A and B are shown apart, each in its own frame.
Chain A
Amino acid sequence: MVRVKSRYLLCEVCVEDRKNLLLLDERSIYVAAKAAVARVHGDYGSALTNLGFSVKYLNAHTGIVFLRCRRSHYRLIWSALPFITSLENRGQRVPCFLNCLHVGGTIRTCQKFLVQYNTRQLHRMLLVCQSEEERSEIRKAVLSCTLKKDNNDDYEESEEED
């Protein structure tokens, strides 16, 4: 059987108010992405999202989400993502947008990129730090940022966000 190839889109959910992030879950992103692709690409787009499209991982604290789609038409789905203006969860509407950071062929490559990205973010946070304890905490977090190898598909990245 020929291997089914897919693309993983690593996206960041950007909201104005960080507390609203915690309300999100995988289902709301899935629904919003499907709706956006259907709006922009019509019935063809809806059909494509029925095939092998899923939200693999969502980190509500940092707003990172992995979307998986088939390699043959990941561009089409990607092109509809900028049209997402809000996410809805349990009747509450959160205005936000998705910013695509990286496209990878496997979850592992996306994870590697994510570890580098988070390290960079921590460095950026270091610049705006106010107190010395925060600074030492961030330095500790930077040093402990690694890609842990696990047997099952458990992605653990040590990161700290203030």
Chain B
Amino acid sequence: MAVFMDLNVSYTADKIRLQRLIEKAAHLGYSTVAINYVVDLQEKKQEIGKPKCASELFDTFPTVQGSTRPIKVLNRLTIVATDPSHFRPTAEYKAYDLVAVFPKTEKLFHATCMTFDVDIICVAGSERQPFCFKISPVNGAIARGVFFEISYTPAIRDATTRRYTIANSISLMETCKGKNVIVTSGAERPIELRGPYDIANLGLLFGLSEQDGKAAISTNCRAVHLHGETRKTALGIIHTMKKVQPVSEGSKEDGVPPSKRAKIEMSS
């Protein structure tokens, strides 16, 4: 039983709905979900807020169907942008486990594939793709380890969006030949989720081969997760962790200021 991940679960302010979504995902067999915070930078000065800590939602995470471990919840940021200047990797990005970009123009798509420090590039689902996928930026992205994401919920909702999703994904497959693709839901409600084997089969409609379809929800997703983790570390080797110091009652202990006492653990 492979490890299945669903890396795009829409964030809603409604806590109960989010809880039900995650419970449903655990019931279906997904071992990891990523809550997606979408930021559209075209509108007036949107702030990229801090993501909600996942442990606020649940005291104990629901167990995944088919294993004994609880489901893992990540945070993901998606930036909808038309201009390369919109994307500025600031410290706020570090708070998220995964960063994704939804490019709307050809120039931005090229820049995202070749230079930006992202994990996922979203392919339009509910509208016609304004530009064509060219081989050179797509191959550049594959070489860097950036993944392309296809979302299947627009296909389920409406017939016209279904046509756009299938058309866009097939045009992507022609250029990337099925490599570095992940399929995710963009589910806002628990009823929009689908089981992992069904999605692997949907990959056939999207132009993926049978093997690529299965990889799109398991191994490729895991690769994206690891890619996101390495962004927090230096070249993926060194990883810093803040050690929580126990609060000591009274200051009878040494008069060393707390800043000097804080240690940084180096673990390789």
User: Any chain A CB within 8 A of the CB of B132?
Assistant: no
User: Any chain B CB within 8 A of the CB of A136?
Assistant: no
Residues of A within 8 A of B20 (CB): 16
A124 touches B194 (CB 8 A): no
Rounded to whole angstroms, the CA-CA distance of A40 and B192 in the bound complex is 17
B191 touches A97 (CB 8 A): yes
Residues of B within 8 A of A14 (CB): 24, 27-28, 191
Chain B residue, CB-CB nearest to A76: B204
* Contact pattern, A 60-97, Cβ under 8 Å of B = 1, otherwise 0: 00000000000000010011011101000000000111
A81 touches B204 (CB 8 A): no
Chain B residue, CB-CB nearest to A39: B159
Chain B residue, CB-CB nearest to A84: B156
Residues of B within 8 A of A16 (CB): 20, 190-191
Rounded to whole angstroms, the CA-CA distance of A95 and B193 in the bound complex is 12
Which of B111-119, B167-175, B195-203 binds A? B195-203
B156 touches A79 (CB 8 A): no
CB within 8 Å of A: which of B58-113? 63, 65-66
Q: Given A79, A98, A124, which contacts B205 in the complex, CB threshold below 8 Å?
A: A79
B193 touches A97 (CB 8 A): yes
Rounded to whole angstroms, the CA-CA distance of A79 and B66 in the bound complex is 23
User: Any chain B CB within 8 A of the CB of A139?
Assistant: no
B63 touches A127 (CB 8 A): yes
User: Any chain B CB within 8 A of the CB of A108?
Assistant: no
Number of interface residues of B (CB under 8 A): 25
Q: Given B63, B66, B191, which contacts A85 in the complex, CB threshold below 8 Å?
A: B191
A124 touches B63 (CB 8 A): yes
A81 touches B198 (CB 8 A): yes
Rounded to whole angstroms, the CA-CA distance of A126 and B121 in the bound complex is 42
User: Any chain A CB within 8 A of the CB of B152?
Assistant: yes
* Contact pattern, B 26-50, Cβ under 8 Å of A = 1, otherwise 0: 0110000000000000000000000
User: Any chain B CB within 8 A of the CB of A140?
Assistant: no
Q: Taking the nearest CB of chain A, how far is it from the CB of B99, in angstroms? A: 28
Chain A residue, CB-CB nearest to B64: A124
* Contact pattern, A 103-126, Cβ under 8 Å of B = 1, otherwise 0: 000000000000000001000100
A83 touches B155 (CB 8 A): yes
Residues of A within 8 A of B27 (CB): 14
Chain B residue, CB-CB nearest to A99: B195
Rounded to whole angstroms, the CA-CA distance of A26 and B63 in the bound complex is 31
Number of interface residues of A (CB under 8 A): 21
Rounded to whole angstroms, the CA-CA distance of A124 and B67 in the bound complex is 10
User: Any chain B CB within 8 A of the CB of A35?
Assistant: no
Q: Given A79, A95, A96, which contacts B201 in the complex, CB threshold below 8 Å?
A: A79
| A75-B201, A120-B66, A124-B65 as given contacts; A82 in contact with B194, CB under 8 Å | yes
B194 touches A99 (CB 8 A): yes
Q: Taking the nearest CB of chain A, how far is it from the CB of B173, in angstroms? A: 16
User: Any chain B CB within 8 A of the CB of A32?
Assistant: no
B199 touches A82 (CB 8 A): yes
Rounded to whole angstroms, the CA-CA distance of A95 and B194 in the bound complex is 13
User: Any chain B CB within 8 A of the CB of A100?
Assistant: yes
B204 touches A99 (CB 8 A): no
CB within 8 Å of A: which of B110-143? none
Q: Taking the nearest CB of chain B, how far is it from the CB of A15, in angstroms? A: 8
Rounded to whole angstroms, the CA-CA distance of A110 and B243 in the bound complex is 51
| A16-B190, A124-B65 as given contacts; A100 in contact with B159, CB under 8 Å | no
Rounded to whole angstroms, the CA-CA distance of A97 and B193 in the bound complex is 8
Q: Which residues of A come within 8 Å of B, CB atoms? A: 14, 16, 39-40, 75, 78-79, 81-83, 85, 95-101, 120, 124, 127
| A-B CB contact pairs (8 Å), 18 listed | A14-B27, A14-B191, A16-B190, A40-B162, A81-B198, A82-B194, A82-B199, A82-B201, A83-B155, A85-B191, A96-B191, A99-B198, A100-B198, A100-B201, A101-B197, A120-B65, A120-B66, A127-B63
